[in-house]
Structure 1
Amino acid sequence: MANIVERACKDGTVTFQVRWREGGRGGRQQNEKFGSRPSAEQFKKLVDAHGQQWPRGWVRGHGFAEPETYPDDVPLVEWAYRCVDRLTGVDELTREDYRREIRLHISLARHTLPTGALVPATICNLTADDVRDWIRLEESGLRDPQDPQRWVRKPAHPKSLAKRHGLLHCFVQAAVEAEPQLRTKNCCQNTRLPRVDHLIEEEMTYLERGEYLRVASEIWDPHARDLTDWLVGTGMRWGEATALQVRDLNLNAAVPTASVQRAWKRAATGSGRSFFLGPPKTRKARRVIALSPSLAEIARRRVVGQSAEAFVFRTDLGRPWLHANFYQRRWQPAVEAAVQKGLQKQPRIHDLRHTHVAWLIAAKIPSPAIQARLGHESITTTIDRYGHLLRELDGEISEAVEAAMASASPETGLRLLASG
């Protein structure tokens, strides 16, 4: 890292000298003098952003002789699109989502010249300060100058912002690893992002048993009610439950099971978006779920007379459920009716999965078992998302520790040592 040394001159003035080792530790000592600390601070940031090298286009003692130019430079947005087009192992929908993030969000990034002027961001001129400015721009959003109550661009949610920053990080890293190399350092490293964890609890809605029954009782369609009970009883994702086929059920075992082997995926098409059956979300999402007696009874009732590849959950017309159709015509009307009768929550369909976890935690089911049932790739995901609910078990944990310590008196300990 470069540093600034303040020096007093004989004429009473003060200069600020930026010093650094060219290329880092062990490199040749370099320095540049400035008449003010802000100018020195700005140059220090440029040196750090250029990997302890002289900023490109900078003439010692004079500053930038001309606007920053790089022989192989590419506009940031163009480079980002190029990176997305070269991705392998992703479907077209994912590629389309990345392009949308570039068009709507990454395109907002700008580069600030030493003079303070804003210029279009390129893959070479982008600095850590530019990334921080972009983060703040996304955080603050943009209101309509003509109507301050209306958002032209809403403030980014911390979780969305973290994903966009991760995407930008990948694009910049591609320039670092390019042949020939376009950058020597990834300016997205060590960016401090808004915290996400304190918002997770607010995003989720957990229903008590009575609250769930209040909503479920408003669902008049028996096919929709079966699906709702299945979602809250298994914790399956929507795309997994609605893709379940008769052949995935083992209802004759001592403990009946449902095997998650596929899920609905969105596909980008020329006329919009359609759906197709693909693998579950992750490797761990391909799992076997034990069914309670009531869930097994739902399954038995729904598979009678059906072929092996028939969907377990179907509309009254025998077709697979579409999320929008279920939400607008079954779920949302039921929630609104329950709210009118006193329900204090506004649960989403996905909150049935969260509710399932809350019920398991309340029943003191161990976290690894919950992880396996939900199909989380890592136990960390389970703890990060639902760990705050485990606080409800603090009383039981304290009692267990107290009981163990009470039984382990000094006399007992000495007897155990002697016998050992």
Structure 2
Amino acid sequence: MPVYKNEKAKNKKWWYQFYTGEIKNGIRERITKRGFKTKKEAEKAMIEAQAALQKGEYIEPSKKLMRDYFHEWIKTKHNLERVTLELYHSYMRHHIIPELGNIPLGKLSAHDIEMFLDALHKKGLAASTVKRIFSVVNAALNAAETKDLVTKNAADKVEKPQVSSRRQLVVWEPAFVSEFLEKTRYASRYWIAVYLAVMTGMRQGEILGLRWSDIDFEKRIITIQQTVNRHREIKPGAKTKKSIRSVALSPETIEVLKDHRQFILQERVALGPAYENNDLVVCTKFGGPVTQRAIQKVWTSFLKKTGAPKITFHDLRHTHASLLIKQGVHIKVISERLGHSSVSITMDTYGHLMPNMQEDAAAGLDSIIKTTATNK
């Protein structure tokens, strides 16, 4: 079996080579492919290549079109979350394939990538979206280089797209938050989701996944340990390890939750066996998970009803953080409540909302020095 191991190279990977049976310019034509981690992988790939050659379906990597390579590459992404995979497919379908699909993999150049990025900007896509799309293309080409389908990733020679600045956070003042919650309280069964976003800083998926069993009414604590995704699927865990956390509740929040629980119990009793008991705090009238689209629809109606400044549902999480900052809550505590992976993320996101911190720190130095001098 013509499978070999490159003992001289640092990585010592396996490769195969076999003759096609054709002769060109007096030379027997052969197919070579390198970059396999094990002998078994190399043998399997060679058998597949030989079978494709016999069927007339074999395409040299250099001649394979980008569209075909991208479709093959995306099929290998078994470790991606369903939502992420759908996003990749959307990028492929709407942006990557239309611009790069007809270019042979082996002939893709840095100039092609630059023109591709220029086309994305001309479409009016946000800088962050362009950056994500580029990352997908770059990952696919890195895989092609690793498998020796191309000698070099063309994207490596291109200046990476930059996101100049984050979207400016829009938050509501405490007085307006109170007024908004009062005006919308009985407008929808999903008002509780809005209330929890303001009072806990939880992410939307975390709110939709919250169960009654996750709430300790005596200790006034919520434990976040599952979410609901955009497909109404209940998923254990959270966004990150730090996202699985406990959040303390105010006495008023406990009372609001008790009222809502009574409402849910009445529905459950009325429906009887027809009720789908998922133990969810935010649920449909039949007890099932709520779609993010349903929450967005209610949120939009709330904004219209109250004439409130337009912010996203996620901005309520930022509003929660700003309310804590105004109370002088320590940044570490805020970070823990929000489930950030590090305090630095919290500081990067909300540092501009703390304009008096430096001023207070400087004033505090005077106080310490004067006190020290007096005690001498």
In structure 2, distance between residues paired with 1:403 and 1:189:
54
Taking structure 2 as the reference length, the TM-score comes to 0.72
2:146 counterpart of 1:164: no
2:214 counterpart of 1:243: no
CA shift in 2, pair 1:190/1:381, >3 Å: farther
Deviation at 1:390?
Answer: 3.1
Of residues 345, 369, 377, the one that matches 2:341 is 377
Give the match for residue 133 of structure 1: 115
**Secondary structure at 2:300's aligned position in 1?**
helix
Deviation at 1:128?
Answer: 2.5
Q: List alignment gaps of at least 5 residues for structure 2.
A: 1-58, 269-276
Deviation at 1:405?
Answer: 4.9
Of residues 343, 352, 355, the one that matches 1:388 is 352
1:17-416 matched pairs, under 5 angstroms: 71-73=60-62, 74-110=64-100, 120-141=102-123, 155-178=124-147, 181-189=148-156, 191-201=158-168, 204-219=169-184, 220-221=186-187, 223-253=189-219, 256-266=220-230, 274-279=231-236, 280-304=238-262, 309-315=278-284, 318-328=287-297, 330-339=298-307, 343=308, 345-407=309-371
In structure 2, distance between residues paired with 1:285 and 1:75:
42
In structure 2, distance between residues paired with 1:93 and 1:395:
44
CA shift in 2, pair 1:195/1:394, >3 Å: farther
In structure 2, distance between residues paired with 1:408 and 1:195:
49
Percent same amino acid among aligned pairs?
21
The amino acid that maps onto 1:275 is R
Q: Given that residues 216 and 334 in structure 1 are in contact (C-alpha distance below 8 angstroms), is that contact kept between their aligned partners in structure 2?
A: no
In structure 1, distance between residues paired with 2:222 and 2:282:
13
Q: Deviations over 1:97-138 (max 9, x none)?
A: 21111111112445xxxxxxxx94333322333222221211
Q: Which protein is richer in helix relative to its size?
A: 2
**Secondary structure at 1:301's aligned position in 2?**
helix
**Secondary structure at 2:247's aligned position in 1?**
strand
**Secondary structure at 2:316's aligned position in 1?**
helix
RMSD: 2.9
Q: Which protein is richer in strand relative to its size?
A: 1
The amino acid that maps onto 1:188 is A
In structure 2, distance between residues paired with 1:370 and 1:78:
47
Give the match for residue 27 of structure 1: none
In structure 1, distance between residues paired with 2:167 and 2:323:
18
CA shift in 2, pair 1:83/1:377, >3 Å: farther
In structure 2, distance between residues paired with 1:120 and 1:402:
68
Q: How many residues are paired up? A: 304
CA shift in 2, pair 1:400/1:77, >3 Å: farther
In structure 2, distance between residues paired with 1:207 and 1:132:
41
Q: Given that residues 278 and 287 in structure 2 are in contact (C-alpha distance below 8 angstroms), is that contact kept between their aligned partners in structure 1?
A: no
The amino acid that maps onto 1:186 is N
Q: Given that residues 123 and 172 in structure 1 are in contact (C-alpha distance below 8 angstroms), is that contact kept between their aligned partners in structure 2?
A: no
Q: Given that residues 243 and 262 in structure 1 are in contact (C-alpha distance below 8 angstroms), is that contact kept between their aligned partners in structure 2?
A: yes
